[in-house]
Structure 1
Amino acid sequence: MGKISIVGLGPGDYSLISQGALEALQSSSRIFLRTEKHPTVDKLKETIQYTSLDYFYDKEENFENVYSKISEFIVELSKEGDLVYAVPGHPRVAEKTVSIIESLAKEKNIEVETIASMSFVDAMFNYLAIDPADGFKLVDAFEIENSFIDTNTSMIITQIYDRFIASNIKLKLMEYYDYDQEVCIVNGAGVKNLESKKYVQLQDLDRCENLFDYLSSLYIPKSTKSVYNTVYDLEKIMNTLRSPFGCDWDKKQTHESLKKYLIEEAYELCQAIDNDDIDEMIEELGDILLQVIFHCQIGQEEGYFDFKEVVSGICKKLIYRHPHVFNNAKIDMDTFEKTWEELKQEEKGESSITDGLKRIPKYLPALIKAEKIQHKAALVGFDWDNIEDVFKKITEEYKELLDECEEGNIKYIKEELGDLLFSIVNLARFLKIDSEEALNCTNHKFVNRFEFMEQSAKKLNRNFEKMTLQEKDELWNKAKENKL
């Protein structure tokens, strides 16, 4: 087995290659360059012989495959003896192949040495005359979709090879920055006679006059404007509200005192959805998110939990309950609901179906709770075979209610009325109708018809309250005729 020496070629100017890197290159007869598209290579050709691996870029469909194949190639070649693998810049800065090679080499007990040179990041800060001590984030253009964008710190985006990539970068950044945010296109940082910089507004990043190549990067300074579009922003605001200098009302709230607000906001969101009002939905979803962050802030102050734990919990739960998506498990989607329930039981350590029934929150609206109970029972086969049996059960419960009403026994009247309602929920389930929604529709219809009755009475110069029941019924029937 040979040793792999990974050397950095610096940002591009020959004078910025480290002495150690030059010595490693000049003393080796087996040199492989990830790419020869680097300004330093023209000078190196005079003293070294090398093999370029640029052909991998033509063979593979995407950069991930390129990096993996190059890394595997280098590790395999090292079995024949020592070699030098050279990469642009600093081996530890934005160079994916290095981490892959080290991981593969570790598995095969192959020695790896890294020899640094100046990185393009150092060259950029030097060229822009900026001190990086205030903090910055380094992002690969091909990974920006999965990157956290923090407008409160400066950022460098690498590998902006062309206008197409620049356009994608612009669209992503515009989700976080204002259109007029100043950004700097930097070309050839660290390469004398090639260095150039151009400050433009973000909205103009991909315009024709802005040229990009393999030496292009983008510098975005810390934003001076607050966009407020991440959960992190909301967390900071809530932290301020609960601080000693915050709001007295917010500071005195507890998990218990906030319960009613969460319920109210949930119902207001349902109303926004029913109204098909997108603006209202955005507002109400924000109100619900506020409640989540509020509880997390209290949990953090008390030392019990924080937002990260909440997110971690739900992520783990979703992955666990979707083994067919995340673990390639084979699941019959026709019985997925039963599988889901079984996974929940296993997750919560429940030993019986009854445990699952008792887990249903007692504060749920009764119709919703009844539907959930019936659904869980149906999953294990305790259900009517057909809808005709459901109708028979409703008729049976209705007759039993009539009998108890004739007897005048309040206790049993209440019980039989509950049985009748439970049976009607069962009917709604068979009809695939949400009983809660159905009843709310009727409530809405009743209010509309009642409004029609009152307005009609007013047009007739009549006092609605003093009208006879027969007269009110006539107005009710007119409301029905008007499809209200």
Structure 2
Amino acid sequence: MSNILHVVGLGPAGLESMTLGDYRMIKEAGRVFLRTVNHPCAQDLLAEGLQAESFDYLYERENSFERIYEEIVSRLEKECELYPEVVYGVPGHPTVAERSVVLLVDKLSERFQVKVHPAVSFLDPLFAAIPLDPVEGFLLRNYDALKGSGITGKEWLIIPQVYDGFIASEVKLDLMDIYPDEVELYVVQALGTKMQKVWQCPLYQLDHQTFDHLTTVVVPPCGEGISMTKLLEVMSTLRGRGGCPWDAEQTHDSLKPYLIEESYEVLEAIEAQDMYNLAEELGDLLLQVVFHAQVAQEAGEFQFQDVLKGIIDKMIRRHPHVFGDVRVQNSAEVLSNWDQIKKEEKGEKAEEELFSFPKGLPALMLAVKTQKKVAKFGFDWPDLKGPLAKVYEELKELEEAMAEQKGIQEEFGDILFALVNLSRFIKCDPEDSLRQTIRKFQLRFLEMAKLAGQAGEGLGDLNLEKMDYYWEIAKSKEKNKEIGNNPEIKAGV
């Protein structure tokens, strides 16, 4: 029969919160280890003469909790090899917020019997100390696991072991991403003991409180919490009974123009390098996704969770070099794998599916995608000379068409297509390039109008020669960087 490691919970307070069975076992044991003696029950046991070794020295020596817990597991493994029974005591309940116990069970259970003895956890006196009914739902999160942990603000949030002001400051900053600065928190110390204290403070003052190793922070449910769940609820309310008549009338088809409009406003914010506006525009774009998901849910078509699951599964599936064992050397191999996986997913076999791009794509973007698609089959120029010569060839054909007044539009389209082809070789995005040129033209024209106005002349009064004069001055000022981001351009002028 293998040796036994008893993992015993010391409860949240002194000996009075420890079970009688655990008390007897720990008093009769020959080899006893305590994760820490900085606990009321541990102090009571030592006062009764218990001979035990603690791991407090590791907290002073090591610089990470994970390293401390690894050291504890290593030491207890050696002890279990030498002694038939070893007892390891931890504060509270052994399986509540005890990372060391998780590691022990995971790493030692194959060689030894690891018996976890249940105990009173800090949650039991907590439920009595504050008006928290667990049936309302609660989240128990360690202070270093708040980001990305699915906090919605609808549930009670319990954060144990907020040891000091530094940890409290980190907790405060993480919570401020979700909750209003003024939300009232509970701070609880020494739960279940005669020294138990409970008080409230606003979130923004959390790191100005007093803390010790027995401090727990609790956040009540808050309707103003920021989360994806909150946005879905807002959208459901707008579409529901008593909501907004306009929102309730919308369909997938009626929302199409807004999806396109919001996408272009995101691009505009990126081009203007206006990060404040970009955050707002990305929110508007996200709203469109949520809007369509709500419409679909009401029609029984799909839910927002299906949207999330679909994109999560797709990203994992198409990145086997990150989530699997595929190895890649560079981004070109990443794209090659991506296309192959996409082809297998969609089963692209028929020729007509080669150009299965969205019909609503802008012409320049559609041209780029088409050329990249055929280039993968080897239908492409070997170097830059080919597409450059093609541009000159198409220009000549346009001149001939203009002279004959026949096929002008077709030849003009050929020039644009040839220029897009050239853009791939010189690594210029044609859409971005044209947008930048348009913006440059607008800035120059506005500056030209400004110069004319300063000279007492209006645009309508200028002949072409005078316009050229002011245009050249504006061009010169632009090269000297005297013309900046004009607010009229940002406004869409």
Scaled to the shorter chain, the TM-score interval is 0.7 to 0.9
What is the count of residue pairs matched by the alignment? 470
- What is aligned with 1:426? 421
Matches within 5 A, 1:77-92: 77-78=79-80, 81-92=84-95
Query: Aligned pair in 2 of structure 1 residues 143, 399: CA closer, same or farther (>3 Å)?
Result: same
3-state SS, counterpart of residue 5 of structure 1: strand
Instruction: Describe the shift of the 1:86–1:454 C-alpha distance in structure 2 as closer, same or farther (beyond 3 A).
Output: closer
d(CA) in 2 for partners of 1:218 and 1:426? Answer: 61
Q: What amino acid is aligned across from residue 18 of structure 1 in structure 2?
A: T
> Does residue 335 of structure 1 match 2:332?
yes
Superposition deviation, residue 425 in structure 1: 0.9
How much has 1:439 moved relative to structure 2? 2.6
1:70 maps onto 2:72 in alignment = yes
Equivalent pair of 1:321/1:343 in contact (CA under 8 Å): no
- Distance in 1, Cα, partners of 2:449 & 2:162: 68
In structure 1, how many angstroms separate the alpha carbons of the residues matched to 2:335 and 2:353? 12
- Match status 1:41 vs 2:39: no
Shift of 1:162: 1.5
Q: C-alpha separation between the residues in 2 aligned to 1:369 and 1:274? A: 21
Write the letter of the residue equivalent to 1:85.
Y
TM-superposed deviation, 1:234: 0.8
Alpha-carbon separation, structure 1, partners of 2:178 and 2:127: 23
Q: Which amino acid aligns with 1:101?
A: L
Residues 4 and 85 of structure 1 are in contact (CA less than 8 Å); yes or no, is this contact kept in structure 2?
A: yes
2:185 is aligned to 183
Contact 2:319 2:338 in 1 (8 A): no
Query: Does the CA-based 8 Å contact 2:355-2:370 persist in structure 1?
Result: no
User: For residues 426-452 of structure 1, what are the alpha-carbon distances to aligned partners after superposition, in whole Å with 9 as ceiling and x for unaligned?
Assistant: 222223222123333444455567776
Match of 1:250 among 247, 251, 256: 247
The one-letter code matched in structure 2 to 1:51 is: E
Report how far residue 294 of structure 1 moved: 0.9
SS where residue 6 of structure 2 aligns? strand
9-18 or 237-246: bigger deviation: 237-246
Q: Is the 8 A contact 1:324 1:330 kept in 2?
A: yes
| Structure 2: 5+ residue stretches without partners | 476-493
Q: What SS does the aligned partner of 1:150 have? A: coil
CA distance in 2, matches of 1:181, 1:423: 60
- Equivalent of residue 122 in structure 1, options 103, 121, 124: 124
Show structure 1 runs of 5+ residues with no match: 465-470
Show the counterpart of 1:199: 200
| Matching residue within 215, 224, 227 for 1:226 | 224
> Which amino acid is 1:481 matched to?
E
Q: Is the contact between residue 152 and residue 229 of structure 2 (CA under 8 Å) also seen in structure 1?
A: no
Alignment match, 1:93: 96
What is the Cα deviation at residue 190 of structure 1? 1.5
Q: Which amino acid aligns with 1:150?
A: T
Name the residue aligned to 2:472. 481
- Judged with a 3 Å threshold, the aligned counterparts in structure 2 of structure 1 residues 173 and 334 are, in CA distance, closer, same or farther, namely closer
CA offset at residue 379 of structure 1? 5.1
Whether the aligned pair in 1 keeps the contact of 2:151 and 2:227 (CA below 8 Å) is no
Report the more deviating stretch, 181-190 or 144-153.
144-153
Query: In structure 2, what is the Cα distance between the partners aligned to 1:5 and 1:198?
Result: 36
Letter in 2 for 1:62: S
Q: Does 1:283 align with 2:248?
A: no
Per the TM alignment, residue 49 of structure 1 is displaced from its structure 2 partner at its CA by 3.5
- Whether the 8 Å CA contact 1:242–1:250 is kept in 2: the answer is yes
Partner of 2:306: 309
Deviation at 1:139, TM superposition (A): 1.6
Shift of 1:217: 1.5
* 2:103 partner amino acid: I
Q: What SS is found at the alignment partner of 1:263?
A: helix
Aligned-partner residue type, residue 252 of structure 1: E
Matched with 1:214 is 213
CA deviation after TM superposition for structure 1 residue 11, in Å = 0.4
Between the aligned partners of 2:149 and 2:112, the Cα distance in structure 1 is: 32
Question: 1:355 Cα shift?
Answer: 7.7
Residue deviations 1:401-420 (CA, integer Å, cap 9, x gap): 3444455544xx44433222
CA distance in 2, matches of 1:76, 1:256: 68
Looking at structure 1, the residues matched to 300 and 7 of structure 2 have their Cα atoms a distance apart, in angstroms, of 46
Amino acid at match of 1:384: W
Q: What CA distance in whole angstroms lies between the structure 2 residues aligned with 1:462 and 1:131?
A: 72
Aligned-residue offset at 1:473 = 3.6
1:180 aligns to what SS in structure 2? coil
Q: Does structure 1 conserve the Cα–Cα contact (< 8 Å) formed by 2:11 and 2:18?
A: yes
Cα contact 2:180–2:224 (8 A) shared by 1: no
Distance apart, 1:100 and its partner CA = 3.1
| Cα pair distance change 1:449/1:42, threshold 3 Å | closer
In 2, the alpha carbon distance for the partners of 1:185 and 1:22 equals 30
Equivalent residue for 1:158, pick from 145, 160, 174? 160
State TM-score, norm by structure 1. Answer: 0.84
Shift of 1:18: 1.4
Equivalent pair of 1:338/1:379 in contact (CA under 8 Å) = no
Q: 1:360 to 1:130 in 2, by over 3 A?
A: closer
Q: Distance in 1 between matches of 2:202 and 2:460?
A: 67
Per the alignment, residue 467 of structure 1 pairs with none
The AA in structure 1 aligned to 2:86 is L
Q: CA deviation at 1:103?
A: 3.3
C-alpha deviation, 1:236, in angstroms: 0.4
> 2:219 corresponds to which letter in structure 1?
I
Note closer, same or farther for the CA distance 1:131–1:311 as it changes in structure 2 (3 Å cut).
Answer: closer
Give a deviation string over 1:453-473, Cα, whole Å, max 9, x none.
799699768967xxxxxx854
Q: In structure 2, what is the Cα distance between the partners aligned to 1:236 and 1:144?
A: 22
Q: State the alpha-carbon separation in 2 of the partners of residues 263 and 73 from structure 1.
A: 62
Partner in structure 1 of residue 172 of structure 2: 170
* Greater Cα offset, 382-391 or 156-165: 382-391
- Residue 17 in structure 1 maps to residue 14 in structure 2: no
2:411 is matched with 416
Instruction: State the Cα distance separating 1:220 from its structure 2 match.
Output: 2.4
Q: Which moved more, 1:93-102 or 1:9-18?
A: 93-102
SS in 1 for 2:474: coil
Distance 1:297 1:2 in 2: 58
Shift of residue 72, structure 1, vs aligned partner: 5.3
Distance 2:30 2:200 in 1: 44
**CA distance in structure 2 between the partners assigned to 1:456 and 1:366 by the alignment:** 37
Identity rate of aligned residues, in percent? 37
1:102 matched residue in structure 2: 105
For 1:260 and 1:27, the matched residues in 2 are separated by: 76
The question of whether the paired residues in 1 share the 8 Å contact of 2:172 and 2:206 is answered with yes
Tell me how far 1:297 sits from its aligned partner.
Answer: 1.5
Q: Deviations over 1:241-286 (max 9, x none)?
A: 1223322322232222222211111112222233333443232211
Partner of 1:296: 293
**Secondary structure class of the residue paired with 1:7:** strand
Residues 381 and 338 from structure 1, CA distance in 2 versus in 1: closer, same or farther, beyond 3 angstroms? farther
* Structure 1 residue matching 2:309: 3-state secondary structure: helix
1:85-128 CA-to-partner distances (Å, cap 9, x unmatched) read: 3211112321223333333455x275443322221122223234
